[in-house]
């Protein structure tokens, strides 16, 4: 087993996978908190266009993805002021980007294999430069997130009060989307466009079931994604199935375990949020 680490590509895979897991565990916590799961899904599809465009131009796919997702995140952040009906807009952009990616692929000659590599990840083909870019971008993301940690947390929990207290929610939101774009591009290299959700959202959602303080939830989320990522890689080297399949299975497994654990540890802890039309009014005692 340990002999494997003599190979360059194995070390690259573990290094890149580890960085990606840590970053996406951290960013994912905020994604779940802010309800931006669909936005991260859309960004990953934009990344598909970026990767295919990069393949067309003959540059590194990571650079293409970073360029396109950052641009899209900026656009989404500036346009998406209104929360309402956002899903439809995100969805329209998502399919348009996929269509564009399909066009780029059809212009390319050996399109099918390229498409599958982009869509389902190619961690074993990560190069030394990719690892360096991943580490650099990952460090930048972590540092930026640490700087804006408290205001972002505040703005995510209660946007109205944060705004009233003078927290620049709009600016934070755009900045966070940019960070999300970076993490999505990195995660795509590991698990592929279609499975970004597995590293970015699933560990954080599982952690949120079990830990209620932000800090412990983040630690738990990072641990889950790290264990899943490295575990998936080890399994992929031992078994012969694709690494992304193992990673996705592990994170899903953790999610369902967390669902079960929550039911045991915190019975009835979750109550349906008070709904304006479902508010319980105190019963007026009947005089009769």
Partner 1 sequence: MFAVFQYPFIQNAFLAGSLVAITTGMLGYFLVTRGLTFAGHALSNIGFAGAAGAVLLGITPVVGLLVSTVGAAVAISVLGREIRERDVAIGVIMTFTLGLGILFLSLYHGYAEQAYSILFGTIVGISRSDVWVTAWLSAGLMAVLALVGRPLLFSSFDPELAEARGLPVRLLGSLFLVLVAVTVSIAMQVIGVLLVFALLVGPPATAIRLVQRPASAIGLSIILGLAYTWLGIILAANSTWPVSFYITTLAFVIYLPVRYLAKYRNDKRVQSESNRHLQVSAGSLETEVVTNDKPFSDQSTPMKGQRHA
113 and 55 in contact (C-beta within 8 Å)? no
Quote the least distance from Cβ 21 to partner 1, whole Å: 15
Q: Which long-range contacts (CB under 8 A, 24 or more apart) does 58-67 make?
A: 60/129, 60/130, 60/133, 61/118, 61/189, 62/130, 62/133, 62/134, 62/185, 62/186, 62/189, 63/133, 65/184, 65/185, 65/188, 65/189, 66/137, 66/181, 66/182, 66/185
Nearer of residues 71 and 135 to partner 1, judged by Cβ: 71
> In angstroms, what is the minimal distance from the CB of 63 to partner 1?
23
Q: In the bound complex, what is the minimum distance in angstroms from residue 261's beta carbon to partner 1?
A: 15
**Cβ(39)–Cβ(76) below 8 Å:** yes
Q: Which is nearer to partner 1, 11 or 169 (CB)?
A: 169
Least gap, CB of 200 to partner 1 (angstroms): 9
Burial class (CB in 10 A: 0-12, 13-18, 19+), 45: buried
Interacting residues toward partner 1 by CB under 8 A: 32-35, 37-38, 41, 83-84, 87-96, 98-100, 102-103, 106, 111-113, 115-116, 119-120, 156-160, 194-195, 197-198, 201-202, 205, 212-214, 241-242, 244-245, 247-249, 251-252, 255, 269-270, 272-273, 275-278
Residue closer to partner 1 by CB (options 131, 255) is: 255
Under a CB-based contact definition with an 8 Å cutoff, are residues 5 and 171 in contact?
no
DSSP, res 283 = P
Rounded to a whole number of angstroms, the minimum distance from the CB of residue 46 to partner 1 is: 13
Nearer to partner 1, 178 or 193 (CB): 193
Report in angstroms how near the CB of residue 147 gets to partner 1 at its nearest: 21
- Closer by beta carbon to partner 1, 93 or else 229: 93
Is the Cβ of residue 37 or residue 148 nearer to partner 1 in the bound state? Answer: 37
Burial tier of 285 (Cβ tally within 10 Å: 0-12, 13-18, 19+):
exposed
CA trace torsion 261, 264, 266, 268 (10° rounding): 120
135/151 with CB nearer partner 1: 151
Identity of the residue, 6 or 113, whose beta carbon is nearer to partner 1 in the bound complex: 113
Cβ 152 to partner 1 shortest distance, Å: 12
CB 195 within 8 A of CB 213: no
Plot region of 168 (φ>0 → left; ψ -120 to 50 → alpha; else → beta): beta
Decide: 159 and 34 in contact? Cβ < 8 Å: no
- Shortest Å distance, C-beta 115 to partner 1: 5
């Amino acid at each position: 087993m340990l002999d494997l680490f003599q190979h360059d590509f194995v070390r690259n895979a573990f290094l890149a996978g580890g960085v990606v897991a840590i970053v996406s565990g951290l960013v994912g916590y905020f994604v779940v908190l802010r309800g931006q799961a669909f936005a991260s899904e859309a960004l990953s599809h934009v990344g598909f266009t970026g990767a295919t465009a990069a393949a067309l131009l003959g540059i590194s796919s990571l650079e293409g993805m970073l360029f396109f997702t950052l641009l899209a995140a900026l656009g989404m952040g500036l346009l998406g002021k209104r929360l309402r009906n956002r899903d439809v807009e995100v969805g329209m952009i998502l399919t348009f980007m996929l269509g564009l990616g399909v066009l780029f692929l059809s212009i390319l000659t050996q399109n099918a294999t390229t498409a599958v590599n982009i869509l389902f990840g190619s961690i074993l083909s990560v190069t030394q430069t990719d690892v360096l870019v991943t580490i650099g971008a990952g460090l930048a993301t972590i540092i930026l997130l640490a700087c804006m940690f408290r205001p972002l947390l505040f703005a995510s929990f209660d946007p109205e009060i944060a705004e009233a207290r003078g927290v620049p929610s709009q600016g934070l939101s755009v900045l966070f989307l940019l960070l999300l774009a970076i993490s999505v591009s990195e995660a795509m290299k590991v698990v592929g466009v279609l499975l970004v959700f597995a590293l970015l959202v699933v560990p954080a959602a599982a952690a949120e079931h079990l830990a209620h303080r932000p800090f412990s939830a983040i630690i738990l989320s990072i641990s889950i994604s790290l264990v899943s990522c490295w575990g998936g890689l080890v399994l992929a080297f031992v078994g012969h199935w694709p690494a992304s399949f193992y990673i996705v299975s592990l994170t899903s497994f953790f999610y369902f375990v967390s669902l079960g654990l929550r039911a045991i540890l915190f019975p009835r802890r979750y109550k349906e949020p008070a709904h304006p039309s479902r508010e319980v009014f105190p019963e007026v005692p009947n005089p009769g």
